Chains A and B, each alone.
Chain A
């Protein structure tokens, strides 16, 4: 594809309760396969997607964190989490399945301005 745009995907929903988190991830993977630069920001309850120890077999769903672990295989390595979301939930980097960069509100506002296309899920 001739044109290229930078994509930011904001994933705000927790895993399993609805299809939003899975849809956000599928959109990120597909956009990366189209060779566009993709960053993901986990915000609000979306940070729960990254929590280690998920075992969704009992609710008959696939493990979202397993698919998230594939992000580096798609060259998606700019992963951000909202500092407020982490602090409110008492989470830190050690609780998560992937290394992420923690952003404060000003950082997030700047991130949005730095991307051509911003999609929220």
Chain B
């Protein structure tokens, strides 16, 4: 079992690096999780993470890639609402990687 040490507070992760307790998410936790992926979070990352957290709180589920792209397009404009743009920010699987950093539940591998 791994954990993050955020200013002396221990945040437990499961064996795939997802938060055990989603309530413990803070921006500092997101920074630390990103560090594990060798990602340095810029404003461009943060605005997508915000869209993702808003989506989750409004619709009560983490979006698949297509609705994520649509949500980003609606909020941040068509230039950013493209999968290529999101792939650059969150390599390999944007919906999955960004969801982990945003403190959303572990995906059920349902697609």
In the complex, the answer to whether B110 meets A73 with C-beta atoms within 8 Å is no
Give bound CA distance, A20 to B64, whole Å. Answer: 21
Q: A30-B110, A30-B111 are in contact. Are A74 and B58 (CB under 8 A)?
A: no
Give bound CA distance, A62 to B104, whole Å. Answer: 14
In the complex, the answer to whether A70 meets B67 with C-beta atoms within 8 Å is yes
Q: A26-B110, A73-B71 are in contact. Are A33 and B66 (CB under 8 A)?
A: yes
Q: A26-B110, A30-B110, A30-B111 are in contact. Are A63 and B63 (CB under 8 A)?
A: no
In the complex, the answer to whether B60 meets A66 with C-beta atoms within 8 Å is yes
Q: Which has the most chain B C-beta neighbours within 10 Å: A29, A62, A69?
A: A29
In the complex, the answer to whether A69 meets B110 with C-beta atoms within 8 Å is no
Interface residues on B, range: 10 to 19
Q: A33-B66, A74-B66, A74-B67 are in contact. Are A67 and B111 (CB under 8 A)?
A: no
Closest to A65 in B: B60
In the complex, the answer to whether B70 meets A70 with C-beta atoms within 8 Å is no
Give bound CA distance, A69 to B57, whole Å. Answer: 12
Residues of A within 8 A of B66 (CB): 32-33, 74
* A-binding residues in B (CB < 8 A): 55, 58-61, 63-67, 70-71, 110-111
A-B residue pairs, 7 tightest by C-beta: A70-B59, A73-B67, A66-B60, A62-B60, A33-B64, A63-B60, A73-B70
What are 18 A-B pairs with beta-carbon distances under 8 A? A26-B110, A29-B64, A30-B110, A30-B111, A33-B64, A33-B66, A62-B60, A62-B61, A63-B60, A66-B58, A67-B59, A69-B58, A70-B55, A70-B59, A73-B63, A73-B70, A74-B66, A75-B70
